[in-house]
Amino acid sequence: MNQAEKELVSSALIHRLDPLSLRAKVVVEGFLTGLHKSPYHGFSVEFAEHRMYQPGDPLRHVDWKVFGRTDRYYIKQYQEETNLRASILIDLSASMDFQSGGEISKAVYAKSLAAALIYLLLGQRDAVGLGIFDEKLREYYSPRSALTWRNVLWGALESNNVEGKTRIGDVLHEMADRIGRRGLVIIISDFLDDPEQLLPGLHHFRHNGHDVLVFQILDPRELDFAFDREARFEELESKESMIASPWQVRESYREEMQNFLEVIRTGCSRHQVNHHLLTTETPLDEALIAFLTMRQRRL
């Protein structure tokens, strides 16, 4: 077994760890341990609470104890300056239940990612909230920063199953109206919906001053349609089905999927939304790097 195969097996096993709290801890602690061995070793998860003095800063904010030790002027940054308010919105509609080849479903991957982000955010003393949706918003938990809050959010993730249809645009508009203070909005979904409906929802967050980070999660077969025999294909939400020979429709399917993804990518770029396409085989480290990149950009 080569290194790539070992990593894939390890990643698949992580997604099967129970409870979700253990999964999140294993993912994040392993990620942090590996940071110094990776090209991203410059990332810091202990974020500074001081910054250099700049002309015009109020002198009452100068940290004179630090000046006494360093002979340099530093400004204290208070909690509202250094800590982030993040809201994680996770799609648990029926389409997220898809999995191929006996691997994990998109929903399992999404829950693992959301749980890891909760662990990382609260470990950094950030406030984190959670919204769970399908065609409507099922549950919403406003951002809090207490470490014990993660148990509440993990419990909500574990108790919600995949069901219902997808209507992402309506949910995004509702959440954009509901989330008050500006912060970071993280959306985890397969985004298998009408782009003309969901992209205005993303823009609504940007219009309200939020930073937006999108993780679009797909099964590998949804990208390459590499099925090898005739089968009945069922739409998970409508339950409509058809028998098809994959090799007869594969090229046209791939073209349609690439066109769809390009519309999503272009729309996100136009609205200054950070878009990251992941498959259920993508190591979660890649998603955590994307989060840290955005997190440090806000400091």
Q: How does pLDDT run across 134-151, given as a tens digit for each residue?
A: 999 999 999 999 999 999
pTM across the whole model? 0.79
Q: How far apart are the first and last CA of the chain?
A: 42
Q: For 265-294, what is the mean pLDDT?
A: 93
Using one digit for the tens of pLDDT, what is the confidence trace for 212-262? 999 999 999 899 877 666 555 555 455 565 566 666 677 888 899 999 999
Q: Distance between CA atoms of 141 and 82, rounded to whole angstroms?
A: 22
Answer yes or no: is pLDDT of 3 > 50. Answer: no
Using one digit for the tens of pLDDT, what is the confidence trace for 15-60? 888 789 999 998 998 888 776 555 544 444 444 455 666 666 667 6
pLDDT at 6: 41
> In percent, how much of the chain has pLDDT > 90?
53
Q: Where are the chain's structural domains? A: 3-42+83-297, 50-79
Alpha-carbon distances of 149 from 22, 37, 113, 142, 146, rounded to whole Å? 15, 31, 17, 10, 5
Domain 3-42+83-297 coded CATH 3.40.50.410: yes
Answer yes or no: is pLDDT of 177 > 90. Answer: yes
Q: Distance between CA atoms of 151 and 192, rounded to whole angstroms?
A: 30
Task: Let me know: does 268 contact 214? Beta carbons within 8 Å.
Answer: yes
